[in-house]
Structure 1
Amino acid sequence: MTIALARPSLSLFDSWSETVAEFGDAHIDGAGLERGQAHDRGACAALIEKAELYADGDATLPEGHVACDYFWITDDGEVVGFIAFRRELNDWLRSYGGHIGYSVRPSRRRQGIAGAALRLVLDRAREQGYDRVMLTCDDANVGSFRTIEGAGGELEAVIDGSAADIPQLRQYWISL
């Protein structure tokens, strides 16, 4: 297994499309997609354009959005998941989202992929001068909170997400 981070690219379209299809109608954390969004070539091209815009620190983003680096998690050139590094926290992200969101293709879970990708993004955050980053996960998502804790995450709080129409969340900080 060779886990790497790739910027969104049409050269990985087939693999990206298969991965998005495997999630079905579920929300895909870190992918930059809306729930149930199409996974055709046009949707991929639009996502690439979005990723380029959000990566530009000088870009004007939609209200409530922050600069973000979107990556596709690859294993030997195959897209196996998604991870996003949000470079700042707005009010919603400070409560519910955090700096980093990620998802691994259902058929590739429990293989250490999320942990490997998270370490790569944490290295990038450290190189960019961040002292610590925040992550959240559903309180019931044992795999995710074990991944975060394995990367040094310290539980800050358990948050009732009902006000935002989301499940109860675990909020972690990772010191870099």
Structure 2
Amino acid sequence: MILIKPTIEWEKEILDYKTEFLSQSGVNWIDGSSGLSDFVNILDWLEHLVLYESNETIPNPDFVTGEQYLFIRETDRKIVGMIHFRHELNEYLFHFGGHIGYSVVPSERNKGYGSRMLKEMLTEKKESPIKKFLITCNDDNVGSAKVIEQNGGILENKVLDESDGQLVRRYWIDN
């Protein structure tokens, strides 16, 4: 398993990931993918990612900078997960989003990939100036809560996100 930044080399696999998610009934968003579901063209998505990596190029001042990663099973080049690391938190992210967002493709869930991917990201960001990482999940997302807890997440509280009516669990992980 490897954690890498997306490039055009992975276009087919990224499209496969997106297609599997969006083929599920009622799904129109992919967590931890930096808005992948909004893009038809992967090259446009990749350009979007570059813009959001720096305060000098970020097109939307209401958003924060961050980095996108793919979690790839090398034996068959399958993207089993995507994970996004945010360099800082705005007001909304402090309450409901956190520093790290992620997803595991539906066909690969319940195989430990989420926990491994989060562990890799935490290791990757060990030298980050952030001393504590905030990671959130919806209260009814038992799988995600287990992933966070297996990586040392300590539940601080649960808050209601009035924008979608979801109860959100807020966890902190020491860096």
Note the alpha carbon deviations across 1:40-92, whole angstroms, 9 max, x for none. 5x2x1111111112223533430211010011111113212210000100000
Matched, 1:29 2:31: yes
User: Which residue number in structure 1 is paired with residue 172 of structure 2?
Assistant: 173
TM-score when scaled to structure 2?
0.90
Distance (whole Å) between structure 2 residues aligned to residue 143 and residue 29 of structure 1: 14
Query: For residues 13-162 of structure 1, what are the structure 2 equivalents within 5 Å?
Result: 13-24=11-22, 25-33=27-35, 36-38=37-39, 40=40, 42=41, 44-76=42-74, 77-161=77-161
Q: How many residues are treated as equivalent by the alignment?
A: 169
> Which residue does the alignment assign to 2:10?
12
CA deviation after TM superposition for structure 1 residue 166, in Å: 4.2
Structure 1 moving runs of 4+ over 3 Å: none
Structure 1 stretches of 5 or more lacking a match?
none
How far is the alpha carbon of 1:167 from its aligned partner?
1.1
Q: Given residue 91 of structure 2, which amino acid in structure 1 is its aligned partner? A: D
Matches of 1:58 and 1:138, distance apart in 2: 32
Superimposed CA distance per residue, residues 12-51 of structure 1 (whole angstroms, 9 cap, x where no aligned partner):
11111111111113321110126x535x5x2x11111111
CA contact (8 A) 1:4 1:73 kept: yes
Which residue of structure 1 aligns with residue 163 of structure 2? 164
Provide, for residues 104-140 of structure 1, a one-character-per-residue CA deviation record: whole Å limited to 9, x for no partner.
0000011111111111111122212321100100101
Q: Residues 12 and 78 of structure 1 are in contact (CA less than 8 Å); yes or no, is this contact kept in structure 2?
A: no
Partner of 1:55, secondary structure, is coil
Distance in 2 between residues matched to 1:78 and 1:140, nearest whole Å? 27
Corresponding residue SS for 1:171: strand
In the alignment, the residues of structure 1 paired with residue 174 and residue 107 of structure 2 have an alpha-carbon distance, to the nearest angstrom, of: 31
| Distance in 2 between residues matched to 1:8 and 1:166, nearest whole Å | 32
TM-score normalized by structure 1? 0.90
State, as a whole percentage, how many aligned pairs show the same letter: 31
Structure 2: tracts of 5 or more residues without a match: none
Calculate the aligned-residue CA RMSD, in Å.
1.5
